[in-house]
Amino acid sequence: MLHGIGLTNQQSIYDPAAGIFNAVTQATGTFSFDETNAAEQTLATITITFRSMIGGIWLDFVNVTQNVTISIYHQIDGVNYRKFQENAWVIADDDGVLLDGFTAYRNIRITLTCGGGGAGAVDIPYAVV
């Protein structure tokens, strides 16, 4: 038994067969981010049906011309979302952004916010792995 949680030494806590964590199904795409809009915009909502490990969230801001706030929300009760992480990115930062992984037991939402005043929509490739 490993640390009192019922696993053999050959099982990982990330092993779906052990019934502890599933790996989230990878979600990738390109989000059209409207830099003229100062309102919070949802990049992606990831459906979680069983306690899952999200390895990380990759964002490519190569096309972005405005400072961005990245927020991650967790659906706490099946309806309402609560922000649990917020990160600031400024145009002087590297274009590739990796947000550390975490465990989720309900849906998560990733949002982006900028100050507005940009020229229009820019593409942001992303991957949730």
With respect to residue 50, please indicate whether it lies within any of the assigned structural domains.
Answer: yes
Domain of residue 32, CATH code: 2.60.120.380
Picking from 38, 35, 58, the residue whose alpha carbon sits closest to that of residue 122 is 35
Give the number of other Cβ atoms within 10 Å of residue 1's Cβ: 8
CA distance 28 to 126: 6
Number of domains in the chain: 1
Do 16 and 24 touch, CB atoms closer than 8 A? no
- Say which residue, 7 or 23, is predicted with more confidence: 23
- β-bridge mates for residue 103, sequence order: 53
DSSP tag of 25: P
Q: What is the dihedral of CA 62, 66, 69, 71, to 10 degrees?
A: -50
Least confident of 6-10, 55-59, 63-67: 6-10
Do 40 and 110 touch, CB atoms closer than 8 A? no
What does the pLDDT average to over 55-74?
97
Picking from 70, 76, 71, the residue whose alpha carbon sits closest to that of residue 107 is 76
With respect to residue 1, please indicate whether it lies within any of the assigned structural domains.
Answer: no
What does the pLDDT average to over 39-52?
92
Range of the domain at 92: 28-128
With respect to residue 106, please indicate whether it lies within any of the assigned structural domains.
Answer: yes
With respect to residue 21, please indicate whether it lies within any of the assigned structural domains.
Answer: no
Confidence of residue 13 (pLDDT cuts 50, 70, 90): very low
pLDDT score recorded for residue 52: 87
With respect to residue 61, please indicate whether it lies within any of the assigned structural domains.
Answer: yes
Do 28 and 43 touch, CB atoms closer than 8 A? no
Mean confidence (pLDDT) of the chain = 86
Per residue in 82-116, pLDDT (tens digit) is 999 999 999 999 999 999 999 998 999 999 999 99
Within 1-129, where are the H helices?
none
